[in-house]
């Protein structure tokens, strides 16, 4: 039996990276397009943030899966 990826770690790192890196990128991106109403601003933030969150989660998972290589049976951390 092999151990799987530590999903708690993936969730935590995804959250931190999205807040630290993703939020400023979304804010900077919002300066480059015209958002005349609050509805447009909320829609932009929601749609772009969802895409950033998903991309970040997939990259963090891939890192945990292939770079960190979870311990195999019998191995100690």
Any residues with CB less than 8 A from the CB of 18 and at least 6 apart, and which? Answer: 49, 52, 53, 56
Taking the domains of the chain in order of start, what are their residue ranges? 7-67
Average pLDDT of span 6-28: 94
Mean pLDDT estimate for the chain: 87
pLDDT of 50 > 70? The answer is yes
What's the whole-number mean pLDDT along residues 42-62? Answer: 95
Instruction: Identify which has the larger pLDDT, 69 or 50.
Output: 50
**Cβ 53 vs Cβ 14: under 8 Å:** yes
Lowest mean pLDDT among 8-17, 18-27, 60-69: 60-69
d(CA 15, CA 7): 12
Question: 53: which DSSP letter?
Answer: H
């Amino acid at each position: 039996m092999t151990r799987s990826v530590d999903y708690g770690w993936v969730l935590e790192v995804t959250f931190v990276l999205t807040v630290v890196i993703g939020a400023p990128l979304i804010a900077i991106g919002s300066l480059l397009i015209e958002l005349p109403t609050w509805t447009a601003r909320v829609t932009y933030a929601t749609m772009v943030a969802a895409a950033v969150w998903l991309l970040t989660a997939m990259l963090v998972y891939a890192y945990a899966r292939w770079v960190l290589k979870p311990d195999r049976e019998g191995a100690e951390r």
